[in-house]
Chain A
Amino acid sequence: GAGVSQSPSNKVTEKGKDVELRCDPISGHTALYWYRQRLGQGLEFLIYFQGNSAPDKSGLPSDRFSAERTGESVSTLTIQRTQQEDSAVYLCASSSTDTTLNYGYTFGSGTRLTVV
């Protein structure tokens, strides 16, 4: 596709439920990031995938958070036993070596997660 696609765009879930967020990166982009943006705040790094290398999970806030990516395609971010503090916009970004230096990362529109 032309851009980074995220789904769903909005998700309301009850506390304690599991949620799965999806990111479709730009075709050919080997790098994929997940960030979290709380209301009125900057972006908080969660996890990074680069090709088939082991992901960098250093930003995941707890073991309730996990993410997967198959090759250089779709990624899913799973939050188990959601808590109210998980409410935020979850943004996905992708890039390639060729594009990063000139254009930076391309972000998706995000998934707004509300835990009630």
Chain B
Amino acid sequence: ELKVEQNPLFLSMQEGKNYTIYCNYSTTSDRLYWYRQDPGKSLESLFVLLSNGAVKQEGRLMASLDTKARLSTLHITAAVHDLSATYFCAASSLLQGGSEKLVFGKGMKLTVNP
């Protein structure tokens, strides 16, 4: 059974600082997703990582995937207050017929302080 773990689950950091958060998954997965959720809002897709060594960047966020280690990282550069949110990673496995299940981690609540 595919399981996804994120750490840390809570992070408080100062503006301008850098930090890396981690997402481990337990079995082979074909894709890795990162989502952002603001309080009371739905999930916003950030990154889709499709293969080993994939790296994607958007603004101050950069995500990478190591399928051999079953690990994805989300690196935050020079954090700003607007990045405060909960970040979820989700791993997937392709099923017969091309369908796919996503298994989510518990999420990491990030607070960026001025």
Contacts and interface: CB of A to CB of B under 8 A. Distances in A.
A and B assemble together: yes
Interface residues of B, number: 26
Contacts of B47: 104
A25 interface: no
A106 interface: yes
Contact of A42 (B41, B88, B101): B88
- The B interface is mostly helix, strand or loop, or mixed, namely strand
Contacts of A50: 97-99
Contacts, number: 60
Interface residues of A, number: 26
Interface string B36-73: 00000111110110100000000000000000000000
A33 B42 CA distance: 14
Contacts of A109: 41-42
Interface of A: 31, 33, 35, 41-45, 48, 50, 53, 56, 91, 93, 97, 100-110
25 contacts: A41-B106, A41-B107, A42-B104, A42-B106, A43-B43, A43-B90, A44-B104, A45-B102, A45-B103, A50-B97, A53-B99, A56-B101, A91-B43, A93-B43, A101-B50, A103-B48, A104-B35, A104-B48, A105-B45, A105-B102, A107-B42, A107-B43, A107-B44, A108-B42, A109-B41
Nearest first, the 8 closest Cβ-Cβ pairs linking A and B are A104-B45, A42-B104, A43-B104, A42-B106, A107-B43, A107-B42, A109-B42, A104-B48
